[in-house]
Structures are given as C-alpha cells and as structure tokens.
Amino acid sequence: MLVAMARKTANDDALAPVTLAVGQEDLLLDRAVQEVVAAAKATDADTDVRDLASDQLQPGTLAELTSPSLFAERKVVVVRNAQDLSADTIKDVKAYLGAPAEEITLVLLHAGGAKGKGLLDAARKAGAREVACPKMTKPADRLAFVRSEFRTTGRSATPEACQVLVDAIGSDLRELASAVSQLVADVEGTIDEAVVGRYYTGRAEASSFTVADRAVEGRAAEALEALRWSLATGVAPVLITSALAQGVRAIGKLSSARGGRPADLARELGMPPWKIDRVRQQMRGWTPDGVSIALRAVAEADAGVKGGGDDPEYALEKAVVTIARAARSRGRS
C-alpha cells in the first residue's frame, strides 16, 4: 500500500492506462510501481511486467511492447528516469499517450523539474494518474512519513517514539520503513520511546540530533563523544550542522515566545507539544547573547563542512564546544 504522504490525482485507479510517478524519493517511486504491479496481478496473476531503464526504451520499443498479443495478456510497462528519454523516444511515448492500449498499464517515473518537462506536461494533459514522490529533505517530512507508516499498519506509536526513530535512523526512508516494519512485527501494543530506544540505542546515540541535544544542554563532553561516534558511523557532517541549527533555533524561538501552555506554544511556534517541554528543559542556562553566539558558531560550522574549511570535523567540534558554553552563559553572567 502506498503511503498516504504520496499525493495522488483524483484518478486513483492503479490500473489506469498511464500512471505518472513524479519526484526523486526512490522508496516512494518504487512503491508507486509496486502498487500498480500488485493491482495488475490481482486481476491477472500472469501479468507480464517489463521494468526498463530510460536507455532501454529506444524508438520503436514501446510500440513492440504494447502491440496486441495473441493471448490478450495484461501487461505493465515501467519506464524509469523518463526525463532522460531521447527526443525520438519521447515522440513515441507522446503518441502512445493519445491512444493507450487496452490491458496495458504504462508507468512513467519522472524526476520532475525542467528536464523532460514536455513529456511530463503531455502525460498530465492526457489525464495520467499522478503520484507525487517528493524527496524528503526536512526532518519534519521524515517524521510525518514515520507516523504515516505506523498508521498504514494500523498500529499506534507515540510522538516521542516516532521522533526517536527518526533521530536514530536518519534520512534514509528505506531504513525508516524497515525499522517501522520490524517494530510492528516484534512489539505488541503501543510503541513508545522506551521500546524504540531498546531497539535502536546504538544508532540513536550516534545520531545528529543526539549531538545537538547534548550541545544545547551544555554537556560538551557527551556532545563531542556523540559527534565522533556519528562521524565514525558515516553520518554526513551537513546533517549534524542542520541538527545543531534546529536545536539552537528552537531555544531562540521558545525563549522569545510569550508564556503559555505547550499546546498554545506548539501552534504558535510550529513544534509538537512534547518538543516544547523538551526545549523548555534545555533552555534553562541560555541568554539572548548565548543564542546569538551559538547561531554564529553554527553558521561558521556550516560553511566549514560545505567546503569553506579544510577540516569539517574540527569545524563541528568547535561549534559543539561553543554551543555548549553558550548553553551555560546564564550561570556565568
């Protein structure tokens, strides 16, 4: 079943003559294909599936694949990276869109963007069923994805559990989906933070968000240890600077907000209520000057890991130490 986050057009028939999956998130693109194939095989177990890279679809190939069969078999033709098709092949596809064959479902996977936009527009104009598969670059998107995965299985997971799982696994949607499947298979009842921690403790300790949490709490030694572990296990430096930035900005937002209940502040600041409680605990030693110092440190580290410095690891260590000191600035004033 395709995750609810992958938006679809009003035509939600998986056996529509043409399905257009648009985006760069590989897991969602694969699921769009799997959904069509599953629907076809549910109708005809002997469905012939042809899964082609763009360079395998040459001029004339589509006509061969979609020509009438003596056995009238159902067929699914998948074309990946359709934006890379040659001009002559695109002409073939556009012609086919005007008169699709019966019992055949064409699935076009397109990255979106300017390249191959003519084919994208032609498929939409022809009324293709569309599935949006956008790249999930924001932590909030990945958190929503995890929640959706649990909902799809019919299981309940607490907001804290979902956040810990994202913190532990990182940005790989396949690994996040796999982790949800494992937890659902192994754990009965509501999945909470403690359960996720037991399963993914090592990963969580090495995550970029753990580095940020320890830093904004003023725990420099633990933050540095988590940082070195993160880098040793392959966490990208840019993800760590992103987590540090989010942590410091959350402190700044909450410290400048008017007091109120977590639910009211959550609406005002765009944070879940449980995070409001966590940030409140983290911000006790902070001052406005400390927030400014920490933000400058994050900006310098970000420049350092993106090519502005010779040693990304040193840039991150310097930022972590500076942030941890800033977190204790109230006590030194």
Work out the average pLDDT over 35-41.
Answer: 94
Question: Residue 229 and residue 320: Cα distance in Å, rounded?
Answer: 14
Q: What is the DSSP letter of 50?
A: E
Query: With a threshold of 0.85, does the pTM exceed it?
Result: no
CB 279 within 8 A of CB 291: no
Beta strand 129-133 with 48-52 is unpaired
Domains and CATH numbers, the chain: 18-133 (3.40.50.300), 139-201 (1.10.8), 206-327 (1.20.272.10)
Q: What is the DSSP letter of 283?
A: G
Work out the average pLDDT over 143-167.
Answer: 91
Judged by DSSP in three states, 182 sits in helix
Q: Mean pLDDT highest for which of 165-169, 248-252, 280-284?
A: 248-252
Work out the average pLDDT over 172-194.
Answer: 88
For the chain, what is the mean pLDDT? 85
Question: Does residue 324 carry a pLDDT above 80?
Answer: yes
Binned at pLDDT 50, 70 and 90, residue 139 comes out as: confident
Work out the average pLDDT over 2-16.
Answer: 61
Q: Which of 235, 233, 217, 206 minimizes the C-alpha distance to 305?
A: 235
Query: What pLDDT sits at residue 4?
Result: 40
Instruction: Give the other-Cβ count within 10 Å of 87's Cβ.
Output: 8
Question: Does residue 225 carry a pLDDT above 50?
Answer: yes
Q: What are φ and ψ of residue 49, in 5° steps?
A: -110, 125
Work out the average pLDDT over 251-263.
Answer: 73
